[in-house]
Structure 1
Amino acid sequence: MAFLNIARDGAILTVTMNQPETRNALTGNTAVDEFVQLCDDVRKDASVKVVILTASGPIFSSGGNVKDMQRFFDDALTPDMIREEYRQGIQRIPKALYQLDVPVICAINGPAIGAGLDLTCMCDIRIASETATFAESFVRVGIVPGDGGAWLLPRAVGMARAAEMAFTGEAISAAQALAWGLVSRVVAPEQLQAEALALAAKIAANPGVVMRMTKRLLREGEHSSLESLLEMSAGYQALAHKTADHREAVTAFVEKRKPQFA
């Protein structure tokens, strides 16, 4: 059975992790390959304007499959081999998903644990159900964040709070996640999907090309100097001014009507 269930409604792609029997674990299955393929397909399809990532069952994602980790006890599996497995395995998800130019909304239906929490941090906007909890729990099973969590989480909640979560491994509630800025809103479980779709519709109403450029600027701004970002912004703006969507937006403004974007 496929790990991801993909449904499309116009310019909106809803992607559902669909292995509740494994608590939507991200390892020991085809999750990595499917996420990478999804991002590759979306990158090539300019008609996709926004992606919603969510999960089936009561758990968003338990992260790595802890039972599967018993195989690392085998002395034949050397540290070098394990390191390469991470490089060619779960680390491909942040490289694909975090770098995706299309806006991604994460609709978190339940606990997001370990790599499951880090997965939410790879998305642009996080909406949580009241039943969601969040834990950077690697330390509790004697390992480190191997999927980029040490880079992702501080950018979502700040270094001090990320350190508290990573050093204790304790879970925080959806309300605490909202107070810390990890999520932008918390809703009743039955409202989660509708809330995510409504937000996705607002995003999808805007021009797709400049949306992708805008997200790229936000991503580059996390590690670029102001000077470098300004230079990149000037280049993107030159491209944006020549798009049909920009012409339509300005014309509609002058004519006092609603623009019609492709």
Structure 2
Amino acid sequence: MKPFLQCERDGGVLTVRMDRAESRNALTDPLQMQEFVDLCTQIKRDRSVKVVVLTGNGSAFCAGGNVKDMRERGGIFAGSPYEVRESYRGGIQTIPLALYELDVPVVAAVNGPAIGAGLDLACMCDIRIASDNALFAESFVRLGIVPGDGGAWLLPRIVGMPRASLMAFTGDTIDAAKALAWDLVADVVPADQLDAEAQALAQRIAANPAHALRLTKRLLREGQHMRLDSLLELSAAFQALAHHTEDHHEAVNAFLEKRTAQYTGK
């Protein structure tokens, strides 16, 4: 079976495409979930990766779980309540733990519907840009289930509790324009320009020193659950590390000399 995730490399930018267009990139197989975990492990080890772009092949970004499997109580939904619980814990819940905590910035290029777990997957990324035909729904309640992959934690941190509650309690679908107005996405572009816009954004991010990107992302993540005084302590430690990198000195010299910096990742 071909891999679920297709990876392409352009300098410091790694583009990852979910490749099950026939199923609208639904997350149905534990092997798919393990691919996410394994990829994140590889990226953490590869210090030359600066940015990840996540998108989907075909008409959808990710259609969530497999509803047919739910009806038949098959696949990851098979077995006793205890077994289903363990399927979630050892399956789809490994994705937010790996992807959300990834050291490098992740840009979601939402090329089409992001439904249920697909929306939550987009919310695990740092920045979301959408095509003008993208759709978003926290639709679990319409199937009589709950957000099982972290959506109840992720979505309110992006759009705020009132709007997250509205989406989660109704299961309604919103379009790209409303997603932009609600700050769910940072930008909306024509569908035929999405890839180019996502790559341009990723390259702007990747133009910066790798260590500064990773440390900055870690501060942003830690800042979501730390007190200010604790975050300041961590910021001071990270800043001391950053000041003693070769790329920092190159950045300062390039700024003063009015030239483009040449970073080495050291």
Bin the TM-score by the shorter chain.
over 0.9
Contact 2:50 2:210 in 1 (8 A): yes
Alignment length, in residue pairs?
Answer: 262
Contact 1:28 1:65 in 2 (8 A): no
Contact 1:118 1:152 in 2 (8 A): yes
Contact 2:127 2:186 in 1 (8 A): yes
Give 1:210 deviation, angstroms: 1.0
Give the match for residue 98 of structure 1.
100
Deviation sequence 1:175-219 (CA, Å, 0-9, x none): 000000000000000000000000011001000011000000000
- SS of the counterpart of 2:39? helix
- SS of the counterpart of 2:54? strand
Give 1:261 deviation, angstroms: 1.0
- Counterpart check, 1:152 vs 2:151: no
Give 1:103 deviation, angstroms: 0.5
Structure 2 residues not aligned, in runs of 5+:
none
Structure 1-normalised TM-score?
0.97
- SS of the counterpart of 2:15? strand
Give the match for residue 216 of structure 1.
218
Give 1:29 deviation, angstroms: 5.2
Give 1:26 deviation, angstroms: 1.0
Contact 1:28 1:68 in 2 (8 A): no
- Counterpart check, 1:18 vs 2:57: no
Residue 251 of structure 2 aligns with an amino acid whose one-letter code is: A
Contact 1:12 1:200 in 2 (8 A): yes
Root mean square deviation, CA, Å? 1.5
Contact 2:177 2:188 in 1 (8 A): yes
Give 1:73 deviation, angstroms: 7.9
- Counterpart check, 1:142 vs 2:152: no
1:199-210 equivalent positions in 2, closer than 5 A: 199-210=201-212
Residue 8 of structure 2 aligns with an amino acid whose one-letter code is: A
Moved over 6 A (4+): 73-76
Structure 1 residues not aligned, in runs of 5+:
none
Deviation sequence 1:205-242 (CA, Å, 0-9, x none): 00001100000000011111101110000000000000
Separation (CA, whole Å) in 2 of partners of 1:210 and 1:117: 28
- Counterpart check, 1:60 vs 2:61: yes
- SS of the counterpart of 1:63? coil
Structure 2-normalised TM-score?
0.96
- Counterpart check, 1:41 vs 2:39: no
1:244-259 equivalent positions in 2, closer than 5 A: 244-259=246-261
- Counterpart check, 1:70 vs 2:71: yes
